[in-house]
Chains A and B, each alone.
Chain A
């Protein structure tokens, strides 16, 4: 009893400060540990970057600090958010999907040509989602059964999808279907003059489902486990084969959905559209803090990555004098910084 009371009785003011100091330091140290951990570090840095960019934009340009500028990031990049979600699944397992841009173009072409032929959107959209999922399934099987590198298998899928676009049509097909047009022009007011499109709602729902799947289901756990170590996953009796194939199905489905959202945005199908979109999606995922070797990362991080890319584009268009090719250079530079960051964070851990 006396022993426990002794410290407080000796110096009433002192212990508080003595206890407080280590507590603050420990908290600081644990905060620092979170910041340099490969799991949370990159995401937090991306978040800080996003806020910083937004503040810089707001200080430099008038009319930048508005809800609509922020919401337009979602409106303009809804399809990229959906793509990045699919890509996150693939990269979490340590794979990569180069076919997503071509699949976006392909689903746009299928939509435009079938709608032109008089099919209804209630048939066309499910059909596209099924077809792109099947393409993802084939890619997954090629990777798993024949042990082909993801890079090469998805490259083949990219050639196939892009080639099929040209087979369907070599020129742009415009979409006049009333449902599609309606979905393209509909604005959902959020109050204060700000509004979003139905595509944004779809994208947000996809993100929510993806977060739930990755963190609350066995499939999600297995995806993370595969990225950590496929060998250990196999030894633990996890369904490695099924999961490895399924992530490419998820990516195929997301690419198809992104293609549909992209047609809501452009109201046409064009075989040369979305060239290089796979790089944007990969860049968004990497900037969003997902480790390219797999195992670490969050879907919400990827969304943040897409928003940072969108913000860079917005700032460049607000700047006016900067030409559009600066976007590519900035994205490349950002990619470099984040990849080096990942490298530093993972080596320190080992």
Chain B
């Protein structure tokens, strides 16, 4: 029994789930109808659905980020890539003769994704071939990327009037928000591809020691290219969803700070920034924690812009809980308890 309890408490997912649970309880107290989901016009409505829908872009990027972080890397450029992909999609739809046709939208989205793949390969090139530290390599695109996005939109906010495009961001399909379906498919694909094949293990081995894994026959360079390209692909999809949601491409504000939210989701989910191991399920919980936190701030009635203070608190708490020193202290505390219990048993 206690062994089972210890296994549950020791699980990487334990603290994130506790955090999510606490947030749910706070919400329920502040807003009794929090868990109710109703059907209106054939769609599901409710706070939980809102959390899923608004959290979808963060989750999508966080999935890509998880794999990058598993290789002991980081991708700061995702926000800029999202802005570029949104700008490209909107520019193409605006430039086409009939913006409302699904074919136009399909072309726009595919071109946006294609351009982002090139950007991902670029990041991969800097990290894998030139051997530049990932933070710095992706910092370049983070700085220049917003400039490129503004170049595409010519400094304007591009507003598009295209029902199929808007559908991607705020539409519903089978009663569920389209954005949530996209996120779920991407998440499932990433989980199956990396956990049902050896790919995930190979990615982790690169994170532990790139040189050793290369000598063991793992194609470290190719894997690095792969994860950065996949991360840019995720960023592109998130950028399309974000842009479609507002039906406007804003080079300055699309995906602003989303790289930080995504990294935060990964860290809350228990994936170590030192690389070498990752948990996609943890990332899912982490993304939900962040979005629920934002929603909680709204429902409790705190000014929404103070959310960042709470995010700061969450990052600090999670980092301190995960730090080796805290674990050590907790461990010695547990041992001293066990010793005391043992002495008590001997005395009686």
**Residue ranges of A at the interface with B (Cβ–Cβ < 8 Å):** 96, 142, 145-149, 151-153, 155-160, 162-164, 166-167, 170, 271, 275-276, 279, 282-283, 286, 292-293, 323-329, 331-333, 335-336, 339-340, 343, 347
Q: Determine if B320 and A146 form an interchain contact, defined as CB atoms under 8 angstroms apart.
A: yes
Q: Looking at the assembled complex, report how far the CB atom of B37 sits from the nearest CB atom of chain A, in whole angstroms.
A: 31
Question: Contacts A163-B307, A283-B143, A329-B148: A147 and B325 contacting too (C-beta < 8 A)?
Answer: yes
A271 closest partner in B (C-beta)? B305
Q: Determine if A146 and B326 form an interchain contact, defined as CB atoms under 8 angstroms apart.
A: yes
Q: How far is the CA of A208 from the CA of B324 in the complex (A)?
A: 39
B76-94 vs A, Cβ < 8 Å mask (1 yes, 0 no): 0000000000000000000
Neighbouring B residues of A166 by C-beta, 8 Å: 303, 305-306, 308
19 examples of A-B residue contacts, CB within 8 angstroms = A146-B323, A146-B325, A146-B326, A152-B273, A152-B319, A155-B260, A159-B260, A160-B308, A166-B306, A170-B305, A276-B143, A325-B150, A326-B151, A328-B143, A331-B143, A332-B143, A335-B140, A335-B143, A339-B136
Partner of B309, one of A163, A275, A343: A163
Whether a CB of chain A sits under 8 angstroms from the CB of B179 is no
Q: Determine if A323 and B155 form an interchain contact, defined as CB atoms under 8 angstroms apart.
A: yes
Whether a CB of chain A sits under 8 angstroms from the CB of B178 is no
Count B-side interface residues using an 8 Å CB cutoff.
47
Question: Chain A contact residues: over half helix, strand or loop, or mixed?
Answer: helix
Q: How far is the CA of A329 from the CA of B150 in the complex (A)?
A: 10
Whether a CB of chain A sits under 8 angstroms from the CB of B316 is yes
A150 closest partner in B (C-beta)? B135
Q: Determine if A343 and B132 form an interchain contact, defined as CB atoms under 8 angstroms apart.
A: yes
Closest 7 CB pairs of A and B: A332-B144, A328-B147, A163-B308, A163-B309, A160-B312, A325-B150, A159-B312
Q: Determine if A339 and B319 form an interchain contact, defined as CB atoms under 8 angstroms apart.
A: no
Q: Which of B131, B142, B308 has the most chain A CB atoms closer than 10 A to its own CB?
A: B308
Q: Looking at the assembled complex, report how far the CB atom of A302 sits from the nearest CB atom of chain B, in whole angstroms.
A: 16
Q: Determine if B273 and A292 form an interchain contact, defined as CB atoms under 8 angstroms apart.
A: no
Q: Looking at the assembled complex, report how far the CB atom of B270 sits from the nearest CB atom of chain A, in whole angstroms.
A: 14
Question: Contacts A145-B325, A159-B309, A159-B311: A328 and B136 contacting too (C-beta < 8 A)?
Answer: no
Q: A148-B319, A156-B316, A292-B133 are in contact. List 7 more A-B contacts (CB 8 A).
A: A152-B267, A163-B308, A279-B142, A325-B155, A332-B140, A335-B139, A335-B140
Q: Determine if B140 and A336 form an interchain contact, defined as CB atoms under 8 angstroms apart.
A: yes
Q: How far is the CA of A247 from the CA of B146 in the complex (A)?
A: 31
Q: Determine if A339 and B140 form an interchain contact, defined as CB atoms under 8 angstroms apart.
A: yes
Question: Contacts A146-B326, A159-B309: A151 and B135 contacting too (C-beta < 8 A)?
Answer: yes
Q: Determine if A328 and B319 form an interchain contact, defined as CB atoms under 8 angstroms apart.
A: no
Q: Which of B143, B256, B273 has the most chain A CB atoms closer than 10 A to its own CB?
A: B143
Neighbouring B residues of A164 by C-beta, 8 Å: 309
**Residue ranges of B at the interface with A (Cβ–Cβ < 8 Å):** 74, 130-133, 135-137, 139-148, 150-151, 154-155, 251, 256, 260, 263-264, 267, 273, 303, 305-313, 315-316, 319-320, 323-326
Q: How far is the CA of A158 from the CA of B257 in the complex (A)?
A: 11
Neighbouring B residues of A328 by C-beta, 8 Å: 143-144, 146-147, 150
Q: Determine if A156 and B312 form an interchain contact, defined as CB atoms under 8 angstroms apart.
A: yes
Q: How far is the CA of A331 from the CA of B144 in the complex (A)?
A: 7
Neighbouring B residues of A157 by C-beta, 8 Å: 312
Neighbouring A residues of B155 by C-beta, 8 Å: 323-325
Q: How far is the CA of A149 from the CA of B324 in the complex (A)?
A: 12
Neighbouring A residues of B310 by C-beta, 8 Å: 163
Q: Which of B251, B313, B319 has the most chain A CB atoms closer than 10 A to its own CB?
A: B319
Q: How far is the CA of A149 from the CA of B272 in the complex (A)?
A: 11
Q: Looking at the assembled complex, report how far the CB atom of B319 sits from the nearest CB atom of chain A, in whole angstroms.
A: 4
Neighbouring A residues of B145 by C-beta, 8 Å: 332
B326 closest partner in A (C-beta)? A146
Q: Which of B145, B147, B313 has the most chain A CB atoms closer than 10 A to its own CB?
A: B147
Q: How far is the CA of A331 from the CA of B141 in the complex (A)?
A: 10
Partner of A279, one of B139, B273, B313: B139
Q: Determine if B136 and A167 form an interchain contact, defined as CB atoms under 8 angstroms apart.
A: no
Q: How far is the CA of A347 from the CA of B130 in the complex (A)?
A: 11
Q: Looking at the assembled complex, report how far the CB atom of A73 sits from the nearest CB atom of chain B, in whole angstroms.
A: 20
Q: Looking at the assembled complex, report how far the CB atom of B72 sits from the nearest CB atom of chain A, in whole angstroms.
A: 11
Neighbouring B residues of A146 by C-beta, 8 Å: 319-320, 323, 325-326
Partner of A170, one of B131, B143, B151, B303: B303
Q: Which of A147, A156, A327 has the most chain B CB atoms closer than 10 A to its own CB?
A: A156
Q: Determine if B308 and A156 form an interchain contact, defined as CB atoms under 8 angstroms apart.
A: no
B150 closest partner in A (C-beta)? A325
Question: Contacts A160-B309, A164-B309, A328-B146: A96 and B315 contacting too (C-beta < 8 A)?
Answer: no
Q: Determine if B131 and A343 form an interchain contact, defined as CB atoms under 8 angstroms apart.
A: yes
Partner of A325, one of B140, B147, B307: B147
Question: Contacts A170-B303, A329-B151: A153 and B319 contacting too (C-beta < 8 A)?
Answer: yes
Neighbouring B residues of A326 by C-beta, 8 Å: 147, 151
Q: How far is the CA of A316 from the CA of B151 in the complex (A)?
A: 15
Q: How far is the CA of A292 from the CA of B316 in the complex (A)?
A: 25
Question: Contacts A162-B308, A343-B131: A152 and B315 contacting too (C-beta < 8 A)?
Answer: yes
Q: Determine if A148 and B320 form an interchain contact, defined as CB atoms under 8 angstroms apart.
A: yes
Q: Determine if B143 and A159 form an interchain contact, defined as CB atoms under 8 angstroms apart.
A: no
Neighbouring A residues of B315 by C-beta, 8 Å: 152, 155-156, 159
Neighbouring A residues of B146 by C-beta, 8 Å: 325, 328
Q: Looking at the assembled complex, report how far the CB atom of A194 sits from the nearest CB atom of chain B, in whole angstroms.
A: 32
Neighbouring A residues of B303 by C-beta, 8 Å: 166-167, 170
Q: Determine if A339 and B143 form an interchain contact, defined as CB atoms under 8 angstroms apart.
A: no
A347 closest partner in B (C-beta)? B131
Q: Determine if A159 and B308 form an interchain contact, defined as CB atoms under 8 angstroms apart.
A: yes
Neighbouring B residues of A167 by C-beta, 8 Å: 303, 306, 309
Q: Determine if A279 and B309 form an interchain contact, defined as CB atoms under 8 angstroms apart.
A: no
Q: Determine if A340 and B316 form an interchain contact, defined as CB atoms under 8 angstroms apart.
A: no
Q: How far is the CA of A340 from the CA of B125 in the complex (A)?
A: 12
Q: Looking at the assembled complex, report how far the CB atom of A326 sits from the nearest CB atom of chain B, in whole angstroms.
A: 7
A148 closest partner in B (C-beta)? B319
Q: Determine if A339 and B137 form an interchain contact, defined as CB atoms under 8 angstroms apart.
A: yes
Q: Looking at the assembled complex, report how far the CB atom of B242 sits from the nearest CB atom of chain A, in whole angstroms.
A: 18
B153 closest partner in A (C-beta)? A325
Q: Determine if A325 and B151 form an interchain contact, defined as CB atoms under 8 angstroms apart.
A: yes
Neighbouring B residues of A336 by C-beta, 8 Å: 140, 144
Q: Looking at the assembled complex, report how far the CB atom of A138 sits from the nearest CB atom of chain B, in whole angstroms.
A: 9
Neighbouring B residues of A340 by C-beta, 8 Å: 130, 132
